[in-house]
Amino acid sequence: MKQLQAEEFNQLYNDVNMPSENADHSSVIQMPYKQFGLKVQKQDEAVEEGNDKLFTGEWMSDYEYYDEHDQDDKSLYGTPDPSIPASNVPCGGCGALLHCIEPNIPGYLPSQLFKGKSKEQLLTTICQRCHFLKHYNVAINVTVSADDYIAMLSAMKTKKALAILLVDILDFPCSIWPGLAEILGPQRPVIVVGNKVDLLPQDCAGYLENVRQCLTKSIIESGFSRNNIKHVSLISASTGYGVEELITKIHNVWGTRGDVYLVGCTNVGKSTLFNALLRSDLCKVQATDLIQKATASPWPGTTIRMLKFPILRPSDYRLYLRTNRLKQEQYIQRANQRLRREQSRAVINPVQHPTLLGHIGRTFENEQEEAFDHFSVTQRSGGPTPILTLNEKNEKYVNSKWCYDTPGVVQPDQILDLLTTEEILLTISKQMIRPRAYLLKTGMTLFVGGIGRIDYLNGPESIRVILYAAHTLPTVICNTSDADALYKDLLGTQLLGVPFGNSDRLDKFPPLEYGPDILVQGTVEKHITICDILLSSAGWIGINLPKHNEAIFRAWTPDKRGIYVRQPALLPNGLALRGKRIRGSLAYRLGETFKPR
């Protein structure tokens, strides 16, 4: 079993867990555990691993001194070796000291590329992160320790800078670092960006506004002042949806008054957004070349280096040209909207989902189209001067404002650091979520894989609940009195899915623990979801409770991490998306991604 490699590879291997086109999403089957009163929903099948170069590990052959005989056939990304001490040789791209200890730490090289290499060889080497950026045009995020993360962000307190706080819309507040508002400073201007909105099903016509309000409430509850929140944006960094609007808002509320920092925990999509902004009107035209040169020259800074690009100053004339371009491209947005509506009507295969689409363009395609200004990092006399260094103290760059991509960190409420790479890929949603509805009776338990559990302890004889989680996480329903024995019996099997591995791996996996009992009071109409019960990064369960009724639940996660009650619910009309009830079962068929009109 490979060691955890966290967020950096999630964005590279989006297709690893695409389900089989013939997978049966709706059936519920009886398993030979009748003594438990068990019903199990089938887990989607996953396609075989592809031959993509990035995925198979063949990318290491790009290194000059790589010996393919050193490659472990079972390794996809190269393997770390914590027993080898770090070198005192900085990466030629980002300046972090090269090592093979841990993939999540800046300066990492697989042990196959690090061990036995001379200092002279390492001096001409760049780390894995810079390598992917230079050769594959992909910015790989890295994670750091909690102490380093806090120290890095605390350094912003004395700077005039805008914080772009990225939040995983499928995992909040678990993807918001605790105490972040205090770390950034009480006067810090913040633009909140809810990412992965394309993965949310549409439960009503105005669902995005409901999501925005729910996210804003959570951010304020996390300690941010409403006055400091300059804007709340919903985007999809992977499809481009909402990114142009975000750039316009950055121009309007901030311009180039100071630097811009992308901050957020692991798996929120900072690197994907950084890549998108790198090719947008937020950065200078030559930024791509600049970043590539950063992989071949020293990068001065703190112990933890950050990828960055220079921000293009949004003068009135440039904004005028940008506005004209956006108006001309509105037809693309309208076409995307029509496409989405047509897809929603035509979807037959439940694996295929229509999604929110966007277009990210550029107003200036070459340097000559940019008017000279004192923020420029190149001299216009005699043509552009090649960039040979990234020393910010150089007079050429002293007036530049920069957009930084900060390393990620695992939030204490997340369970991602407990999982291997393969388990993360099964846990994190990569496709639009299709709601799974169940009829729970008092004294029954619903398992979400082996990493989440909810008990219905008391209340009406039966209620309907909706699960929003990755389709690759199977579900199991049983009597609460049998749940402990059942979990012990099924852990490590396909019936629970995650976690998996040998007995040693499963013995070390933290047990499911529960927090305080959750009292839910019905205050709205029968078909409205009253609240969400979050199960850390595994997903959440929407509770539908008739008005004037009360119900008591108990939620379980590994080490009781990330158990929250979110009220109002993120998708209050989600019950309208449910499929038909399966005869003789407690489950409904897979729901729709759009509310029928």
Output the tens digit of pLDDT for each of the chain's 597 residues: 333 333 333 333 233 233 333 333 333 332 333 333 344 433 333 323 333 555 556 777 777 777 665 554 445 557 888 899 888 888 876 667 888 887 767 788 888 889 888 888 888 888 887 787 667 656 565 667 788 888 888 888 888 999 999 999 999 999 999 999 999 988 999 999 999 999 999 888 889 999 999 999 999 999 999 999 999 999 999 889 999 999 999 999 998 899 999 999 888 888 788 888 888 888 766 655 555 433 322 222 223 457 778 888 888 888 888 888 888 777 777 776 677 666 655 554 444 455 677 767 777 765 544 444 434 444 334 444 433 334 556 565 567 788 888 877 888 999 988 988 788 888 988 889 999 999 999 999 999 999 999 999 999 999 999 999 999 999 999 999 999 999 999 999 999 999 999 999 999 999 999 999 999 998 887 789 999 999 999 999 999 998 889 999 999 999 999 999 999 999 999 999 988 999 889 999 987 776 654
Look up residue 20 and give its two tokens.
Answer: 């089989």
Distance of alpha carbon 11 from alpha carbon 16, whole angstroms = 11
Six-digit token string for 391: 């020393």
pLDDT at residue 171, as a whole number: 94
Preceding peptide of 499 cis, ω within 30°: yes
Residues 120 and 235 in one domain: no
pLDDT at 41: 39
For the record, the structure tokens of 188 come out as 């810090």
Does 51 map to a domain? no
**Same domain? 262 vs 308:** yes
**Of 94, 155, 158, nearest to 126 (Cα)?**
94
pLDDT value at residue 493: 93
Q: What is the pLDDT of residue 127?
A: 86
For 205, 249, 275, 288, the CA distances from 278, given in Å and listed in that order, are: 33, 16, 5, 7
**Two tokens, residue 245:** 């609007």
Question: Which pTM does this prediction carry?
Answer: 0.76
DSSP lists the bridge partners of residue 540 as: 468, 534
My answer on whether 528 and 553 are in the same domain is: yes
Dist. CA 585–CA 587, nearest whole Å: 5
Contact yes or no for 80/108 (Cβ under 8 A): yes
Is the residue at 150 inside a domain?
A: yes
The pair of structure tokens assigned to 343 is 């897809």
CA 452 – CA 291 distance, rounded (Å): 41
Query: Which SS3 state, helix, strand or coil, does residue 428 take?
Result: coil
- Co-location of 189 and 127 in the same domain: no
Contacts of 181 (CB under 8 A, 6+ apart): 188, 222, 223, 224, 225, 228
Query: For residue 50, which of 84, 14, 83, 85 has the smallest C-alpha distance?
Result: 14
* Amino acid making up residue 80: P
Of the three residues 137, 155, 176, the one that is the final residue of a domain is 137
Considering only CA atoms, which of 561, 309, 304 is closest in space to residue 408? 304
Q: Which of 507, 483, 509 is nearest to 415 (CA)?
A: 509
- 79 in Cβ contact with 115 (< 8 Å): no
Q: Do residue 462 and residue 546 come from a single domain? A: yes
| Phi and psi angles of residue 465, each rounded to the nearest 5 degrees, phi first | -125, 155
User: CA-to-CA distance for 337 and 36, rounded, in angstroms?
Assistant: 48
Q: Is the dihedral of CA 326, 332, 338, 339 positive or negative?
A: negative
- At 178, which CATH number? 3.40.50.300
**Residue 495's Cα: distance from chain center in Å?**
26
Per the listing, tokens 């300059």 go with 230
Residue with tokens 């964005």: 11
Are residue 584 and residue 459 in the same domain, yes or no?
A: yes
Question: Does 96 reside within a domain?
Answer: yes
Evaluate whether residue 340 is within a structural domain: no
- Per-residue pLDDT at 170: 95
Same domain, 92 and 183: no
Tell me the C-alpha distance between 236 and 198, whole Å: 6
* DSSP helix/strand/coil, 521: strand
Q: Are residues 115 and 237 in the same domain?
A: no
| Residue at which a domain ends, from 110, 137, 164 | 137
- Clarify whether residues 129 and 211 are in a common domain: no
**Phi, psi at 436, each rounded to 5°:** -115, 115
Q: Is 217 left (phi over 0), alpha (psi -120 to 50) or beta?
A: alpha
In a domain, residue 327? The reply is no
Residue 98 lies in a domain: yes
**Which long-range contacts (C-beta less than 8 Å, at least 24 apart) are formed by 515-518?**
515/554, 515/555, 515/560, 515/563, 517/457, 517/552, 517/553, 517/554, 518/552, 518/553, 518/554, 518/555, 518/565
428 vs 520: CA distance, rounded Å? 27
Which of helix, strand or coil describes residue 293? helix
* Predicted pLDDT at 308: 79
Domain final residue, candidates 137, 159, 190: 137
Task: Please report, as a single letter, which amino acid is at residue 181.
Answer: A
Q: How many domains does the chain have?
A: 3
| Whether residue 112 is found in the same domain as residue 200 | no
Same domain flag for 170 and 102:
no
Q: Which residue range forms the structural domain that includes residue 108? A: 76-137
Residues 517 and 449 both lie in one domain: yes
User: 43 lies in a domain?
Assistant: no
**242 inside domain:** yes
